[in-house]
Chains A and B, each alone.
Chain A
Amino acid sequence: MKLSCEVNVHHLTRVEGHGNINISIKNGVVKKAQWEVIETPRFFEAMLVGKHWENAPYICGRICGICSIGHTLASIRAVENAFGITPSTQTANLRLLLKHMETLQSHILHLYFLAAPDFLGVGSVLPLAKTHPEVVQRALRLKLLANDACDIIGGRRLHPTRTVVGGFTMLPEKGELEKIRQRLMASVPDLLASAELFKTFAIPDFTRETEFVSLKGETNYPFIGGGLVSTDGVVKKEHEYRAMTNEYCKKGFTSKLSKLSRPSFAVGALARLNNNFALLHPTAREISKFLGLVPVNHNPYMSNVAQLVECVQVVLDSVQLIDALLGSPWQEARQPVKAKQGEGVGAVEVPRGILYHYYKFDKDGKVIKADCVIPTSQNHANILHDIEALASQYAKTGKKDREIELLAEMLVRAYDPCISCSVH
């Protein structure tokens, strides 16, 4: 039996950004098991210094090409918290609906375009268009619905135009929302078919106990603002995010890393679900059970399943949000903003986990200090420890290099890392 293995993945594919995996096993002993992040830093926190507050959401949304809506909303929330602005119910509902549609878009992109090819034994989604046309068409239908909804509410699916501090520059037509509602209802069979598809996938059997950090919902499955919680029992307020993230730098990473009660923790769909399972819509909860996901689940590969459960959750919740919006006449789109000296934090659950934006403003509303803590940067240490544990678990099993490489790649992909975002 072959008990040595060399895995060197330079610029891992089907993830956002640039990362390397290096595993070296000699005679059944792990010599090296690394996750490296080599992405170039862009220095968003420095860019903002001296800038007027209105620049913050506009510029910070551009940290990420996948979750630009989440970044924009976290940034807006931080500014509004600093200025003491409470969004109207209408604004809050529209923002959450927009957030849901980004979650759906991002999760479907990840599940079908980035993760599924591994389970179906191909290198990308392209060959699936021939072999599994119905699967690709279904993915495109779901993604198109989510993106169309983002266009209608946020003005644009990527780097939204209508989202501003105080509310929106413009409101959608009610008829457009009604159409989105119909399409959401019609998408439920596609989501159920997705669940059936993922049920057939062989999820690698690997667990490593870790700590899961997310927002803690009170009455609803949480996405925008609120308390912070961990499965190890840490509870913090939104503005205490630094005590929850404890960022540090490490050789081999251009991104910062985080830790809490243990050397690493995880954020993302699995963390949200582990911490808020009881708050899921009953149908979403049923599908979670159907796919074998019950909290607290410590298999990182189950993040894929958690994302699928969340797709169901956001679709069903969006229908209710649209009903609430359609049920009352439009109020003003935007409330006036008065800048003031102070600081504010915005915590938002974006597709890959909890995101924090923090700003400190002078009396003219200019940024003195900015800080953004990204979900993937919080996950990096956990990915690193998972790769070490994965290498140890398989060191003595005699698997081929390519098998271990694929398991490691799938592991990193399961976190749906947004690496350029994590370095920003």
Chain B
Amino acid sequence: MSEPLSYLGVPLARPKVGFFELSSCEGCQLQLLNNEATLLDFLNLVEIVNFREGMSERADTYDIAFVEGSVTRKDEIARLTEIRKNAKILVALGSCACFGGVNQLKNRFRDLDWVKKEVYGDFPIETMEVHPLKDFVQVDLEIFGCPIKKEEVERIVTDLVVGKAVHHPEYPVCMECKANENICLFELGEPCLGPVTRAGCDSWCTSNRRGCWGCRGPAEGANLKQLEEIMHTYGFSSETILDRLECFGGFASFADAVRSPSPNKKTTARRKKS
């Protein structure tokens, strides 16, 4: 279980690793436990010193901090700042940490009081506009996805441990989907952001005939205008496109461009479709 590891003949230090969560479903952390076949090898690679969901021991210093979730309450800013201070490398784990994730869907209502009242009535509850980690601290590495793909995380962590540079694919999910020889979902009547979303998931959803909702954010040079035209040609409405663009926050600026006035009538009107 804890034999010394080496890479190209050079012994490897096992970095101390901590896992932390802000507002999230904690699914990205669970994804790591969800890799039963390689879990014990993975645990051999690093020394986990902080993983509240899985262990009682806690430590205040760590080489790598993986932070899941987005910032949705003031006290989370302080927690995040503290984690940043204690970590050499801070990794944003999953779409909530990278872009705000599904949590940021509430940001489309400009009136936070309405949001609170809709769920809690008059009971006082504290919240704020949802932010990704990078709005408050320096993020050294982003791991995209809702959920994260465990194989990808293991590759990235291995690269980090052996000191290799970490690269994300620049091409879109569409390329992986084609390589997996799937029928194009547009032909099956299913809307899809595959042509504009960053690859790396091995076309996880589209290989299961579920259109891409863009959880990994935009690929380099994503041509949204073209995608919109194509989707309109296939008969998908702007609302259908917007539902996907705004779901995880990675396409926030693109979503603004297609957004019609917000569904909450009390809020101020959003920018009209350009």
A residues touching B (Cβ–Cβ < 8 Å)? 11, 13-17, 40-47, 49-52, 54-55, 58-59, 62-66, 68, 109, 113-114, 117, 123-126, 129-130, 136, 140-141, 143-144, 147, 155-159, 161-162, 164, 169-170, 249, 254, 256, 366, 420-421
Contacts and interface: CB of A to CB of B under 8 A. Distances in A.
Given A157-B34, A249-B123, A169 B54 contact: no
A50 B26 contact: no
Given A42-B23, A170-B208, 17 more contacts: A41-B119, A45-B119, A46-B114, A49-B263, A51-B243, A51-B263, A65-B25, A65-B28, A113-B54, A123-B55, A124-B55, A140-B40, A144-B37, A161-B204, A161-B208, A170-B209, A366-B263
A136 to B, nearest CB: 8
A90 to B, nearest CB: 17
Contacts of B22: 40
A68 B31 CA distance: 12
A59 B248 CA distance: 10
A65 B147 contact: yes
13 contacts: A40-B76, A41-B72, A42-B106, A43-B119, A46-B114, A46-B118, A54-B243, A55-B243, A62-B25, A65-B30, A65-B147, A147-B36, A156-B208
B86 to A, nearest CB: 16
Nearest to A249: B123
Interface string B43-64: 1000010011111111000000
Contact of A13 (B24, B40, B55, B146): B55
A17 B47 CA distance: 22
Contacts of A144: 36-37
A420 B26 contact: yes
A17 B25 CA distance: 8
Interface residues of B, number: 63
A11 B52 contact: yes
A130 B1 contact: yes
Interface of B: 1, 21-31, 33-34, 36-37, 39-40, 43, 48, 51-58, 72-73, 76, 101-103, 105-106, 109, 114-116, 118-121, 123, 125, 127, 146-147, 190, 204-205, 208-210, 213, 239-240, 243, 247, 262-264
Nearest to B94: A65
A155 B210 contact: yes
A268 B116 CA distance: 29
Nearest to B237: A52
Nearest to A63: B25
Residue among A41, A64, A143 with max Cβ neighbours from chain B (10 Å): A41
A420 B121 contact: no
B23 A13 contact: no
Contacts of A14: 52-56
Contacts of B190: 169
Nearest to A62: B102
A194 B1 CA distance: 23
